[in-house]
Structures are given as structure tokens and as C-alpha cells.
Amino acid sequence: MNEERYILFDQYLQGELTVDEKSNFEKQLAENPELAAELETFREMHFQMENKFGIAQEREVFADNLTRISDKYFQKKKPKIVSMKPWYFAAAASAAIMFGLFFFDYKHYPNFEDYNHPESAYFTERGVSEQTLKQAEDNFNGKRYEKAVPFFEAILKENNSPEIQYFYGISLLQTGRYVKAENVFKELEAGNSVYKEKAKWNRALSKLKQGKYKECEEILQTISQDYENYDEVEQLMEELN
């Protein structure tokens, strides 16, 4: 495990590098895709740690487990006296996982893809180009969401119906445009259309996809039990807990 590299990652993400050090490191990132990928893995591990190990006592348990693993598999390496932050343990844990050495239990968060099954679109809108409407529908149902987005945007200029807004919002969510998608869903939530509860569900899925589990759960709690797929709401809440 490259402990020095993990320390550098931590200092960079914490803003502890000098201007020159930061500039030099970012130059390395730009020139070395492998290093940039390692940094993103480290950043994600830190995010997961923040979600699971927010309590000092749990951090200590985690550290104890990692210490035992390190003692067993890295005895030949001369120990270094370094003040280890939780981030370093996260990075070390990541390396251990890759080598199949990390066996203690940790919380498994639900996967967005397990709940990602958008309904098909069958539009009957009036007052808009039938060709554009057909293109939006075909691309959406074909899961070509990136291509569907501009067609929805063109339709919305002529017809801002809840139906078009809803499927537009899903297309934005599928392409990772979370802020725009959530704004669309919030607008639908404020209305009284048949898409009100569906919009809440999809906004919760947006939070799930981003790893914002607490926010996801808070939105789920606002969904009416009359929602047609409330069994999925309950299942997701159970997984989050």
C-alpha cells in the first residue's frame, strides 16, 4: 500500500497543500490518468467513511480491525509513525478489499440500479410537433436518454404539461443532471397532477444515485402510502435502515 500517496491525497482534498504543491499535484493528475483514478477512488472511500463512521467509537472499531489485518498481511514492512486520520484507514481498507483481505462486516447501502426501472412513455399531447413528440418517446423508451433530452426541451417550449415535465426529469436523472432533474421534480411535487408522488420517488432516487442516503430517506418519508409503488418505497427505506 502506498501510504505516502494516501497522505498526499488527504492533504490535497483537505486543502492542506501549499499553492506550489497543489499546482504540481494537479499537473501530475492531468498527466497521469491512473493517479487521477486512484484519487477518485480515495475520494469515494472517504465519502463512504463519512456516512458510516460518523461516530468516534465506530472509527476505533474500524481501526482495530484494520490493524489486525495489517499485522497479519504486512508484517515484513517496517512500520511508520504517522498520525493516521480516518481517511488513511479508508484508503488502506480499499486496498485490502481489492486483495480480498478485508472481512469484517460493514453496512451495505442500496444500489440505485436495483430501483431504476422507469416506466415507458406513451404520449398523447396536443399542440406540439408529432415528429418531435415521437422522437422524444422513442429515445426515452429505447433508454437513449441523452438524445431524448433536447426533444423534451423543444416540446416544453410549446407544451409545459406535467407528463412531459415528468419524463424530461427522468431523462435528466438518467444522464446525471441531478440539480435540473430535482428542480423539475420539485415543481411537479408542488402541483396536484398524477405525477406528484412519482416525482417524490424519483427525487429520492436522485439522492440515492448520488449516495446522499439520509436525504433520500427523508424524501421517502414524505411519499403517500397511496402511491402505486409504495411497496418499493418501504423496501428502500428498510434497506437504508
Number of domains in the chain: 2
Which residues have C-beta within 8 Å of that of residue 17, sequence separation ≥ 6? 11, 25
Q: Is residue 106 part of a domain?
A: no
| In a shared domain, residues 83 and 121 | no
Q: Which domain holds residue 154?
A: 112-240
- pLDDT tens digits in sequence order for the chain, 241 residues long: 456 777 888 888 878 888 888 888 888 888 887 788 788 777 777 666 655 544 445 555 555 555 555 555 445 444 444 444 555 555 555 555 444 444 444 457 899 999 999 999 998 777 678 899 999 999 999 999 999 999 999 999 988 999 999 999 999 999 999 999 999 999 999 999 999 999 999 999 999 999 999 999 999 999 999 999 999 999 999 999 8
Q: Is residue 118 part of a domain?
A: yes
Q: Using the 3D structure, point to which of 70, 98, 126 is the last residue of a domain.
A: 98
Which residues have C-beta within 8 Å of that of residue 126, sequence separation ≥ 6? 159
Sign of the C-alpha dihedral computed for residues 61, 218, 221 and 143 taken in this order: negative
Q: Is residue 37 part of a domain?
A: yes
| In a shared domain, residues 120 and 226 | yes
Q: Is residue 123 part of a domain?
A: yes
Q: Is residue 103 part of a domain?
A: no
For the full predicted model, state whether its pTM sits above 0.85: no
Residues 121 and 130: beta-carbon distance below 8 Å: no
93 CB burial (10 A radius; 0-12, 13-18, 19+): buried
